[in-house]
A and B are shown apart, each in its own frame.
Chain A
Amino acid sequence: MRALIFIGFILFFMIAPFFIGTSADTFSGAGPFESLSPAHPLGTDYLGRDMLFEVLRAGSVTMFICAAATLLSLASGLTCAVLTSALPTIPGTILARGMDALNSIPSLIIAFVLIAAFGSTTSSLIIIITVVEFTRAYRSLKAPVIQIFAEPFVELSRIRGEGFVYLVTRDIWPNIRPYAAVELVNRFVACLMFLSALSLLGIGIQPPTTDWGTLIKLNATGLLLDSAAPLIPGIFILIASLLALLAASDASRKLEFSKS
């Protein structure tokens, strides 16, 4: 149920821009940093645009990048976790140490270097966030994967001569699913935070396209003028994270149930 609320939240923001009539570059006639009013329920931004529409438009970009980066990083993290446990010792160790090395480089430095090389388009941002986050997904999924590989039933499958595909799809995957669900939600929050941080630093999404981080940066001057505009995107980031944590509690309950 809680997971459904969370998924509904993401989907809502993904499709929201299609219902907004005005485009980002039309002039609305309102002054900059107006306070909340019936005409502009969330006030206006630094150019006098309606803040609600801006937040919805930015939310679509944010949610799309976060969801894509989350799924990619979880998939690649899980694949690496399974590979390091299933491969023979030497290649497995090389892969594991490689992941550790990647994990030990500060994430912002990786992001700076990659953005300098590939620019900050939507697709390159997805890849960059994936590169930073998948080692973390790998690290937290590695422990349960190792544990499942040590279970007697996996040992028995190996003795019976079951192939690698069977081990992964039948023995590992159904039993790792609850862990993966929790990790998926955690990764989503981390991706959201990282994307917002990049945008706030000015190296993430570039105007005129905006995400919530960019919105905070662009409206930062509003703080001096007593406006709510810079806070509103932050509040949405907060709501998204809290809903994700609620969904995580759902997933972790499933985990406990499957264990008992």
Chain B
Amino acid sequence: MKPDSSERQHTAEAANVLEVKDLSAVISNSAASARRIEKLCMALKPGTLSTMIGPSGVGKTSLCLALMGWLRPNVRIVSGEVLFGTRPLLQMHQRQKQALWGREILYIPQSSATALAAPRNVVGQISEFAGDTAQERSERRKLLQAAFQRLEIPGFDEDRYPHQYSGGQLQRILISTVFCATPRLIILDEPTTALHPDLKTSVIEAIKARVREIGAAALVISHELPFFAEFSDQTIDLSASVPPAVKPRSVRPAAPLVGESRAAFKPQPMLTEPPRLAVGGLCIKAPSGRPLVRNVAFQVRPGACLGIVGPSGAGKTTILRSLLGQHGDAKGTIEVDGQRIPLHHSRRTVEQKRQLEYVPQSVKLHLNPALSVDYLIRRRLRQAGHDHSIDAVVDALEKVLLPADYRSKRSAELSGGECQRLGIALALASHPALLLLDEVTASLDPVNANVVADILDRHRASGSMAMLLVSHQPEIVARLASDVLELRDGQVVHPVRDNHAPSASREDVAGSVIYRESEPRQCVL
């Protein structure tokens, strides 16, 4: 706000916003192992968008935080310098750095679920900048309102709280800060992972236009290179700066997702077999009375996978949460193996609870930071009544291509991608009847996403387990799902009428459709 625009214009044309010269850093992710970044050089010019890519777990987030002067305890800068404009950022005093953060340098974090304070309403906390005058504050609110419209975020005037938004909406809300501040450097950490593909493009274009407008430099951390390459002015590949000796263990090279033959392992489930999961007339309302899900019905057979797709905020995660018994005021029926189970988890028996296993969007938040991987896997194996020796634990880790020495690690020492794979290992270890997957590959780079999809595909094909997959990534849905349910505003849309659909009229409401596995595969996106 403070520097006048003519001066800024001048400096903006003259120099790079951020320049990194020969930066070497050590990022340790546990007591034993550390990763080195060596001789990293880059220059960010005003009005441009750059993309930083690198394999999962290399320390992209830690590095970017270090670039803006925030050193996590596990990061050590060995040599090199970082210039913000002409000022050396690393040597600055804490106070000077703090004056820059939020005003000159804006950081948009990866995990939108934890970045916002839960007890405050969204608009209030985003539009609040320390030291604003009343006039500036109302201007920011207007800018933010325009940003909400531009990014298609509903409910600006409703004083909504973070829990009232879906994952994708929260991510866009965080991005909307770019539009109500005028920073010179914007660091976006995986800004599009939770977004629908159509929205992704428009969001990135909006960011790009804004960056041009205010003459800022944007740095996007991502692993979706093919997508961002199109939009960015330059690409910084971190893997080039990682010495090969300590390069993170590269995961098994996998064939590209699209175009792979997948006909071989798609067993056609027998129609006489009873469905593993049958959901009928599911209605869920938010505490405010706003309907979240209206009359959704579907069935999943053993060995099949139902993909649930739809724009963000359509109620995909809500359906999964209601299956888990997290919505006590839901209406409808949930049957597992023909047995009707109560809608709220407190009324379910332990056996009923263990039939379902849930892999959340961010496994990291759902793991107890105090427990080791070994303990977590062993407990699940023991609960499922299986062998829980060390070999069995190593075996469970190998199923998701994690090395055996990860047994002693804790969730804080794993990268996002490794955590997702661990989450799947944990879910598989308890041998559930039904596996619920919530955007499991959203925050993974293509290689890792591929690996995860491979693992899931193998287990779906081999076992009698049924899967429910919520995703907005068309490749993953196309790859895994034998059927697709598309949601919009809590209702099933684009119903693919099934010839064998038994008595759909019994559900007396329009829009409720029963999908069957004999349906030709298709992906509605």
Contact = CB atoms under 8 A, between A and B. Distances in A.
A156 B367 CA distance: 9
Contacts of B371: 170, 174
Interface of B: 72-73, 324-326, 345, 348-354, 356-358, 360, 365-371, 430
A26 interface: no
Contacts of A161: 348-354
B354 A260 contact: no
Interface in A141-159: 151-153, 155-159
- Which of B73, B326, B366 has most A Cβ within 10 Å? B366
Contacts of B325: 159
B359 to A, nearest CB: 10
Main secondary structure of the interface of B (DSSP, over half): loop
A260 B369 CA distance: 11
A257 interface: yes
A112 to B, nearest CB: 41
A153 B368 contact: yes
Given A152-B360, A159-B326, A161-B353, A175 B365 contact: no
A157 B72 CA distance: 30
12 contacts: A152-B366, A155-B366, A159-B345, A159-B353, A160-B357, A160-B430, A161-B352, A170-B370, A174-B368, A174-B371, A175-B369, A257-B73
A206 B343 CA distance: 63
B474 to A, nearest CB: 27
Contacts of B369: 153, 175, 258
A170 B348 contact: no
Contacts of A157: 368
A174 B324 contact: no
Contacts of B349: 161
A257 B366 CA distance: 20
Contact of B368 (A159, A170, A258): A170
A158 B345 contact: yes
Interface in A124-178: 151-153, 155-161, 170-171, 174-175
Given A161-B354, A257-B73, A175 B368 contact: yes
A159 B73 contact: no
A160 B429 CA distance: 13
Nearest to A163: B350
A31 B325 CA distance: 79
Nearest to B346: A158
Contact of B353 (A152, A155, A160, A258): A160
